[in-house]
Structure 1
Amino acid sequence: MKQHNYQGTTTVQVPLPTAFDSIRRRVPEWWAKHFEGSSQSKGDRFTVRFGTTFVTFEITEMLPNQQIVWKVVDNYLPFIDNKTEWQGTEVVWEFKEQDGAVQIHMTHVGLTPESECFEVCNKGWNGHIQGSLHNLLMENKGNPQ
C-alpha cells in the first residue's frame, strides 16, 4: 500500500515574495506564539512550542520564491505513544504563481495515514495553513497558538 504524505494548500492574492517571506520570517504570526531561533535562511534552526509539545526544525533548502524545506531534528508530542514520531520527517513548502494569485502547497513528508499522529496533526496543519496562514496573508492577522 502506497503511503500518502499529508498535504495542504492555500491560495492567496498577494505577491509571490510576500507569501514566501511569510513562511520564512513570520512563523510566530501564523503558527506558534512560542518561537525560538531563526527560520530565515538555509542552515537556520528554530523551535515551536505548544505547552509541553515542541518541534525543532533545521532549514535544509531555501530556493527564493520557489521552495523551503524544514527537517525535523527533534520533537516531543506528548499526546501520542511515539512521542518523537516526527523526527526525521520534512515539511516542504512550494510556491506557484497562477492567475494573479499565489498557491502555497505544503507536504509533510513522513506524516502518513499510518502515523499515530496523522488524524490530530492533519486537522492541526489544515487549521494553520488554510486558516491562520491564509488569514495572515489576506488580512494581516493570523491566529497562532
Structure 2
Amino acid sequence: MDTKTIQQEAQQKGNLEDFTYSFQSPKSSKEIYEMLLQLDKWWSGLYEETITGQSKKLGDEFDFQAGGGMHYTKQKLVELTPSKKVTWEVTDCNLQFVKKQDEWVGTQISFEIEDLGTNRRITFRHLGLTPKFECYGNCAGAWTEYMNELERKLS
C-alpha cells in the first residue's frame, strides 16, 4: 500500500494529527470488545480515576474523573459494532490544567478491532485531540500509558 493510500484511509477515519495508538493481541475480538466496555478494566489504576455511569449500550453515559479533580469528562456511547468498534463522544469536560478547560467537548474516543488471523489489531483514536490542543502533550502521554496497560492486559 502506498503512502497516498494510507493517508487517504487515515483521512476517511479522522484527521492525520488525531492521537492514535495501535497494537496487536492474541485475544478474540469478542474478549477485546467486552473488556473495552468495562471501562474500569482498562481506564484506571494510574491517576486516582473514578468512573460512574454506564457504557454497555448506545446512549449510555458515564463520568470520568482523575488526578484529584484535575480531569473531568462526561462521555456518551455513540457507536457500537459488536466485536469491531466502540466510540464515545465527550459531551462535557473540565480540564483544570489548561486555559480552555472544555477543549475535549465534541471529540470522540474510539477503538477499532481488526481480525488479522491469529491476532487482532486494536486501534485507539482520540478523534479531535491534535497537537493544536494545549493539553495534547500531557493527554497523549496519559493515553499512551493507558494503552500500554491495555496492551499488557490483552497479551
* TM value normalised by structure 1: 0.87
Unaligned residue ranges in structure 2 (runs of 5+): 1-14
Whether the 8 Å CA contact 1:57–1:71 is kept in 2: the answer is yes
User: Is 1:49 equivalent to 2:62 in the alignment?
Assistant: no
Q: How many residues align?
A: 135
Q: Hey, what's the Cα distance between the residues in 1 that align with 2:116 and 2:83?
A: 13
Unaligned residue ranges in structure 1 (runs of 5+): 139-145
User: Is 1:135 equivalent to 2:152 in the alignment?
Assistant: yes
2:105 alignment partner, SS class: coil
2:154 alignment partner, SS class: helix
Which consecutive aligned stretches of 4+ in structure 1 deviate over 4 angstroms post-superposition? none
Structure showing greater Rg:
2
- What is the aligned-residue RMSD (CA, Å)? 1.4
Structure 2 residue corresponding to 1:9, chosen from 1, 22, 26: 22
Q: CA deviation at 1:41?
A: 1.1
* Other-structure match for 1:115: 133
Q: CA deviation at 1:124?
A: 0.7
Identity of aligned residues (%): 24
RCO greater where, 1 or 2, for CA within 8 Å and sep 6 or more?
A: 1
Equivalent runs, 1:43-122 vs 2, <5 Å: 43-50=59-66, 51-52=68-69, 53-122=71-140
- Deviations along 1:47-73, whole A, 9 cap, x unmatched? 111121211100011011111110000
